[in-house]
Structure 1
Amino acid sequence: MTAILTEEHLRLVQRLRKAALLILAVAAIAVLPFVGSAWSEAVHDGLETFGIGLMIVAITGRAWCSLYIGGRKLRALVTTGPYSVSRNPLYLFTFIGVFGLGLQTGAVLPAAVLACLTVAVFATVVPYEELALRGIFGPEYITYCARVPRYWPRFSTWQDSKRLEVEPATIVRTVADALPLLLAYPVMEAFEYLQNAGLIDAAFAIY
């Protein structure tokens, strides 16, 4: 994979990523109603609460990232704030949010499966994004990649900006994209109610 991608190719790859995530979401909605928790009620409720906390962290984190990148991904190489410790902090917060979403089943396994599938989707796309960014920013981006990890943060590389150029519309759009995560709680509660009422058969009781 040595060819440099154009911005048009990058946008196509990003659209394909969104389509893959949509397919994953639809598949999850089709399967999760038939999944029950094998944990005790106390653990079940604790996992749900923890998951809500993770989704709030994800939404807040994505908004924080947008303060720095603000729709400038292809116009400027952002290397400060969350982007100084991770090259893809927006994606990292997405993984956290999806894991929290899966915990709304009251079980850990569905959360782990959903998170791993989401990571797999991004792992397919990110190398192509990096090719495009390398073509746009050249040696500066190569140096940045050598210093900052792709996902998991390296806090020793933290750097901040004295001033930020903020695009409110981008922040609102980023938060709005993540807000549907919180719908997982009422939706999964509705599924659980239907299971308890005998209207849906929980074919799988898992941890």
Structure 2
Amino acid sequence: MRAAVNQKIRINILRLSGLALLPAILVINPVFGLDGFGHETIESLGILLLLTGVLGRFWSILYVGGAKNRHVMRDGPYSMTRNPLYFFSTVAATGIGLMFGAVSLALLIGGTVGLVLWITARREAGFLSQRFGTEYDAYAARTPFFLPDPRLCRTGRTVRFDTTTLRRNLFDALVFLSFIPIVELVDQVKLSLDWSLLTLW
């Protein structure tokens, strides 16, 4: 039987991707400048996407909790997509890119995170299909793989959740939210140095 996906590999790939993008973030200036209305608008949209991603991750964790790979979750966000945690993580990552004021950077960061998570989700789907057989296959046949379909949303009146998993997700949320002051700090450094090697949309 196929083994469950090693999540540490996924996390390390995402961390290395983030480190590889760090130099680009420091030398790129958005085409709208760093202190104009256009930049502030794009940055605000990025914060909104970041918060949506963080809240969506919490919503997903409330449902799957410590039950991942133990049974087929079909309620709440899992009724709309088979991979809500990965979808909302991609939304948050795209928001981080927008917070730097460049749509192209948002597409690069969100696309990189989305691709890594999509590949991980594909491998997980193979494991879940082997483990749960027709139960998972029937769920997969009616539930979108990655992009949610809100029309499919259904849930019970109550949800039991695992507090340990929720605490771990709180740490992940703080990592995402730490980008709000980090982006502001990077913007201030760029403004004070008044230099850039590349301007992007």
Which bin holds the TM-score, normalised by the shorter protein? over 0.9
After the TM superposition, which residues 115-134 of structure 1 pair with which residues of structure 2 at under 5 Å, given as runs? 115-134=110-129
Q: Does 1:35 align with 2:28?
A: yes
The correspondence for 1:98, drawn from 93, 97, 100, is 93
Tell me, in whole angstroms, the C-alpha distance in 2 between the residues paired with 1:53 and 1:127: 28
Counterpart residue type for residue 30 of structure 2: S
Post-superposition offset of 1:28: 2.1
Please give the secondary structure, in 2, of the residue aligned with 1:153. coil
Judge which range, 40-49 or 172-181, deviates more.
172-181
- Tell me the percent identity: 28
The residue type paired with residue 65 of structure 1 is: S
Q: Give the alignment's TM-score, normalised by structure 1.
A: 0.90
Aligned length: 199
> Does residue 202 in structure 1 map to residue 199 in structure 2?
no
Question: Cα RMSD between the aligned structures?
Answer: 1.5
Rounded to whole Å, the distance in 2 between the matches of 1:63 and 1:85 is: 15
Q: Tell me the alpha carbon deviations over residues 172-195 of structure 1, each in whole angstroms, 9 at most, x when there is no partner.
A: 211321321222222222222222
TM-score, length-scaled by structure 2 = 0.93
* SS of the residue 1:197 aligns to: helix
Given that 1:65 and 1:90 are in contact with CA atoms closer than 8 Å, whether structure 2 keeps it comes out as yes
- What amino acid does structure 2 have at the position aligned with 1:64? W
Unaligned 5+ residue runs, structure 2? none
In structure 2, what is the equivalent of residue 107 of structure 1? 102
| Structure 1 unaligned spans of 5+ | none
Report Cα offsets for 1:126-172 as digits up to 9, x if no partner.
22111111122110000000000011112232221233221122112
Q: State the one-letter code of the partner of 1:21.
A: L
Contact 2:118 2:146 in 1 (8 A): no
